[in-house]
Amino acid sequence: MTKKALITGVTGQDGAYLSEFLLNKGYEVYGLLARRSTPTSWRLEYLDVLDKVKLIDGDLTDIASITRALLDTQPDEVYNLGAQSFVATSWAQPLLTADATGLGALNILEALRQVRPEARFYQASTSEMFGKIQEPMQSESTPFYPRSPYGVSKLFAHWMTVNYRESFNIYGCSGILFNHESPLRGIEFVTRKVTDAVARTKLGVQDKLALGNIDAKRDWGFSGDYVEAMWMMLQQDEPDDYVIATGRTTTVRDMCVIAFDYVGLDYEKFVVIDPRFYRPAEVDILLGNPAKAKAKLGWEAKTSLEELIHMMVDADLERVKREIR
C-alpha cells in the first residue's frame, strides 16, 4: 500500500525538500497550508512538485483544523516542520512564536493521540535549544540553555514530544537539526542574505552588505541532506531523538569569504557591521555531534559547506539576472 505523509510547513525550505524526497519514495504527500496570509508556493514550484502535493487548509494554532486534516488524510507519518522560525522575529513577536512553534506542536500531538495514535510523528527541533552551550560539541545528552523565545518555544515542543512518547506511546521522534541551508532559504536568514548580496554585488546592483556578529560560529549543512534524516528516524523500530549536523563549525566571516571568493571578490570591500543586527542574547557557537545518527541511522552529511555556498550563489546569480533583464 502507498504510504501517506502529512507535512506542516510544507511551503518552507524543509517542507519543499521533504515533499520532493517522499514523492520520490512513492508516498502520497499532503501539506497543511495556513491561510492567514497569501500562501507562497515558490519553493514547491522550484522543485517541480507543486502539482504533486495535495494542499489542505489547516493551522498549527487551530487544533480543530489539525484534527480534521488527520481524519481526512489518515497519514502514516506526520512531519511537523511548521513554525515561526526566524530567531530575530521571535523577540519582536514572542507570543506568536510560542503559540505557533510551541503550542502548535502540542496541538498536533494531542490531535494524534485522539484520532490517529498509530501514526509516526516527527518534530523539527533545533540547535537553538542549546543556546548558551554547556559543552563544546553538542549531542543528544548535552543540557539545553535556549537564548531566544524561538529556542524556548522549540524546547517546549521537543519535551512535549518526549512526554507524549513516554506517556501515551506515541511514536514521536525529534530531530535536533543544526543550521541547514539551500537555494530555498528565506532571504532573512544570514546565509541567503550573504549569497544574494554576493550575486547582486557581482552583477553591479549592490555595493554593501550589512551584517551583525560575523564572528558567530555555526554548523551549516544542506537541507536536502537533512530531510533524508527526518525520514530515516521514522523508519526505525523504536522512536528516539537525534542530533543532525555536519560536525564542523564556521564563522559567518569565513562563510562570507567562501561566498565572495567564489565570484572573485574580496568580502572586506563590501561587508559592513551594523549593530542593529546584533541579537539581544547572542548564541556565539554551535557545533553538532552527529555520531548517534551515523551509528544508528547510517546518516551523515553529504554536501560540504563550500559546495552548499557555491550552490546558493549560483542560484542567486540566476535569480538576480532574471530580475535585471
CB burial readout 260-289, b (16+ within 10 A) else e: bebbeeebeebbeeeeeeeeeeebebbbbb
pLDDT attached to residue 88: 78
Check if the beta carbon of residue 233 is closer than 8 Å to that of residue 267. Answer: no
d(CA 139, CA 76): 29
pLDDT attached to residue 236: 98
pLDDT digits (tens, 9 = 90+) for 285-304: 999 999 999 999 999 999 99
Mean pLDDT to the nearest integer, 147-169: 97
Vertex 134, ends 130 and 138: CA angle to 5°? 60
d(CA 129, CA 131): 5
Q: Go through the domains of the chain in sequence order and give each one's CATH number.
A: 4-180+220-244 (3.40.50.720), 186-219+249-285+304-324 (3.90.25.10)
- Positions annotated as catalytic residues are 126, 128, 150
- Name the phi and psi angles at 197, rounded to 5: -65, -40
pLDDT digits (tens, 9 = 90+) for 38-97: 668 999 999 999 999 999 999 999 999 999 999 999 999 999 999 887 777 888 999 999
SS (H, E, C) 128-190: HHCCCCCCCCECCCCCCCCCCHHHHHHHHHHHHHHHHHHHHCCEEEEEEECCEECCCCCCCCH
CB neighbours of 144 closer than 8 A, spacing ≥ 6?
Answer: 129, 130, 131, 155
Handedness of CA 159, 165, 170, 175 (dihedral sign): positive
